[in-house]
Amino acid sequence: MAGLNLKNPDYYINRELSWLRFDERILGEAKDRTIPLFERLKFLSIVSSNLDEFYMVRVASLKDMVDAGYTKKDIAGMTPKQQLAAISEKTHELVASQYSTYNRSLIPALSETGLTILRSHEELTAEEAEYVDEYFEENVYPVLTPMAVDSSRPFPLIRNKSLNIGALVKRKKTGKKDGNGKNGGKSGSVAETEFATVQVPGVLNRIVPLPCKDGKKIIFLEEVIERNISKLFLNYDVICASPFRIMRNADLSIDEDEAEDLLKEIEKQVKRRQWGKAIRLEVQDSVPKKLLKILVDELQIEEEDIFRIDGTVDLTVFMKVYGLEGFEDYKLKRFEPIPVYDINPDEDIFTSIRKKDILMHHPYESFEPVVNFIKEAARDKDVLAIKQTLYRVSGNSPIIAALEEAAENGKQVSVLVELKARFDEENNIVWAKRLEKAGCHVIYGLVGLKTHSKITLVVRREEDGIRRYVHLATGNYNDATAKLYTDLGMFTCNEAIGEDATAVFNMLSGYSEPQGWNKLSLAPIWMKDKFLSLIGRETEHAVNGEEGRIIAKMNSLCDQDIIMALYEASNAGVKIDLIVRGICCLKVGIPGISDNITVHSIVGNFLEHSRIYYFRNSGNEEYYLSSADWMPRNLERRVEILFPVENRELTARLWHILDAELQDNLKAYILQPDGTYAKPDKRGKVTFGSQDAFCREAEEKKNSFRKDIKNTRVFVPEINPGGES
């Protein structure tokens, strides 16, 4: 590729705009009339949730860059200021499309199911209004804290992501003399308009059911409060009221080198999130101009960050609407994960692992064996030590409970709790303190790095000596999200991997840095070089006239060095299929650069989260799983693990997963040369969805196994591991 400038900005897609394209694909699912109605509501809610985080982190970071005078361009040739302008335009288009879908498609369709959602309290019947007013008096009024703004009461703190109702109020004329001998209080005969606000309390259910003979009818809590807002300001006339919501800069700024106690510093910074700079304002398009001006001036919101919307503010509420009972016919049937049949329930888990490596595909297969692995280790008299990394765990984590039990049983328990896991900082601080109290040795991560790897090591004393059992995974130790995210995990007692696992924890807990590794590759030290080497090897094979082949599945792709290596491989003739759920900065279809690259994005009922990397290697195929995406933050600023899968039975399963996802023409979107995504052409083809197929296969597998597991065979898909997709 002599003479080609692979850093040419025209060869790349801006990261932030690519993320918004992902939200477009999610919104596409909300628009899809072939999907059950309540599932469409869920996707609509996810778009709002994604935009919240996008603004709190990505947009906030770009605004900080602009404020600091930072003008360096990204790999797509855009300055921070240019990115913000493009983001604003694209986000306003996205939100307009979101509300158009909500108003024109979803709300009418919901009415046909028997669910009526009132857009305004003005739509209440007399009977419903009486019910709502009584509900307000008994359940809502005691919780509210109205806040007026005047010379003695400054503009209040509006909490990040909270829903509020702003109002303009005017003091009533009472006929009484104030201290100045004037009527109506301090303002004299002409009362001044003042601003007041009340937060819609998050402790109350935002969905308020109304009495209804046929079907269900609901109204949202903010409408109940707005209808009764005059009861909060008895000495005032309420001129107008309207809901609003703001987003603040929530990206933590922590100087770890200067922090004496990282835990205390993060606790302090998390509290400051509520005081971050306001960067986005959502209001209804009917908001009075005077009320909006007060909000804009006080919050210092820029015009491009004001979102005037036609409908309910904050559509994340529809995740709660999704949970309403009585509408199961409009939802997908809940899939129940099947047992991991390679683990014999009649013997301890260690015996099963000693027989062979065990691969688990969640959520199609249960996450329970991972929880049981820790539980059994906690109670097994022969287990000497348990070591684990925790990035995100569930609210009432059984794994945390098992680790506590292990420490109480005298095991040596070491746990790295990543305190810097974004938006899980508070939870992880609680877990860290609990584990320490139970007697576990808790590590708070490495200075300057996030520990994102997923690894558990159990050290067990057996008849033939010490044996190490290891669990490695692509996803978090979170039993709740394991039912929603597609991930892969592997149990092994391979001696070489066990030695590497010990080295990982020694590196995390101290200053031991091994000179070499047996099987594992770690970021930020060696993993990126490993990937570049593997891609380069396929390039060499293609240059030498052999078949080059790469299939890589991940969440995001935006590392420029990796993309350049893929461009070189494509130019050499390597066939490259990428399955990238979210951000993808690589462009396809560039003549002589990316002709041989395809990019698939699957947006389905489960969130695609696994990372699988396949390299043909002249027929000596290599498969890897990892906690890392091909992003600079994963490869350069986090502790990540890449591990090989070498058992042929297990690699056959991995090929089956990749092959099925590349054949998906139901939930897949294909990246086009112009940066947009399109559904595959299904003309003349059988419709095929990979997630549906995996669910069916799981059910078939469950049905094929007899009650006596010893008399059953292990399920291996009948495929050609080395074949083409």
User: Residue 521 is inside which H or E element, if any?
Assistant: strand 521-523
What does the DSSP 8-state code read for residue 55?
Answer: I
**Which two three-digit tokens encode residue 86?**
């493009």
Annotated catalytic residue: which of 452, 471, 541, 600? Answer: 452
Tens of pLDDT along 80-115? 999 999 999 999 999 999 999 999 999 999 999 999
User: Are residues 654 and 474 in contact, defined by beta-carbon separation less than 8 angstroms?
Assistant: no
Distance in angstroms (rounded) separating the CA atoms of residues 308 and 322 = 25
**Which two three-digit tokens encode residue 604?**
């389905």
Going by C-alpha positions, the residue among 75, 84, 88, 103 that lies closest to residue 13 is: 75
Above 90 in pLDDT, residue 204? yes
Distance in angstroms (rounded) separating the CA atoms of residues 10 and 30 = 32
Coil, helix or strand for 168?
A: strand
Tens of pLDDT along 677-716? 999 988 888 999 999 999 999 999 998 874 444 454 444 4
Please report, for the chain, the start and end positions of each structural domain, with discontinuous segments joined by +. 120-249+283-310, 349-517, 522-711
Coil, helix or strand for 392?
A: coil
Mean of the per-residue pLDDT values of the chain: 90
Question: Can you give the pLDDT at residue 704?
Answer: 84
| pLDDT tier for residue 420 given thresholds of 50, 70 and 90 | low
Above 80 in pLDDT, residue 718? no
Question: Can you give the pLDDT at residue 193?
Answer: 82
User: Are residues 503 and 370 in contact, defined by beta-carbon separation less than 8 angstroms?
Assistant: no
The CATH classification number of 349-517 equals: 3.30.870.10
The CATH classification number of 120-249+283-310 equals: 3.30.1840.10
Burial bucket for residue 69 (CB in 10 Å: 0-12, 13-18, 19+): exposed
User: Are residues 526 and 515 in contact, defined by beta-carbon separation less than 8 angstroms?
Assistant: no
What residues does 236 pair with on adjacent strands? 171
Query: What are phi and psi for residue 460, nearest 5 degrees?
Result: -130, 140
| pLDDT tier for residue 428 given thresholds of 50, 70 and 90 | confident
Query: What are phi and psi for residue 251, nearest 5 degrees?
Result: -85, 120
In the chain the first and final C-alpha atoms are separated, in Å, by: 28
Going by C-alpha positions, the residue among 339, 327, 336, 318 that lies closest to residue 45 is: 318
pTM: predicted TM-score of the whole model, two decimal places? 0.91
In DSSP notation, 619-681 reads G--EEEEES--BSHHHHHSEEEEEEEE--HHHHHHHHHHHHHHHH--SSEEEE-TTS-EEPPP
* Cα 374 to chain centroid, rounded: 25
Above 80 in pLDDT, residue 183? no
Average pLDDT, stretch 162-190? Answer: 67
Distance in angstroms (rounded) separating the CA atoms of residues 404 and 383 = 15
Buried b (16+ CB within 10 A) or exposed e, 7-35: eeeebbbbbbbbbbbbbbbbbbbbbeeeb
CATH H-level, domain 522-711: superfamily: Endonuclease Chain A (3.30.870.10)
**Which two three-digit tokens encode residue 98?**
């979101």
Length of the chain: 725
Distance in angstroms (rounded) separating the CA atoms of residues 161 and 273 = 11
Distances (CA, A) of 52 to 55, 100, 199, 310, 608: 5, 19, 18, 18, 20
Tokens 């050609």 -> residue: 720
Tens of pLDDT along 310-337? 999 999 999 999 999 999 999 999 999 9
Average pLDDT, stretch 466-486? Answer: 96
Question: Can you give the pLDDT at residue 189?
Answer: 42
Burial bucket for residue 240 (CB in 10 Å: 0-12, 13-18, 19+): middle
Q: Do domains 349-517 and 522-711 have the same CATH topology?
A: yes
Tens of pLDDT along 47-81? 999 999 999 999 999 999 999 999 999 999 999 99
| pLDDT tier for residue 235 given thresholds of 50, 70 and 90 | confident
* Residues 6 or more apart in contact with residue 677 via CB below 8 angstroms: 21, 24, 25, 601, 669, 670, 671
Distance in angstroms (rounded) separating the CA atoms of residues 153 and 559 = 50
* Residue type (1 letter), 382: D
Above 50 in pLDDT, residue 165? yes
Identify whether 452 is a catalytic site residue: yes
Burial bucket for residue 239 (CB in 10 Å: 0-12, 13-18, 19+): middle
**Which two three-digit tokens encode residue 635?**
């490869």
Above 80 in pLDDT, residue 611? yes
User: Are residues 32 and 109 in contact, defined by beta-carbon separation less than 8 angstroms?
Assistant: no
Tens of pLDDT along 454-464? 999 999 999 99
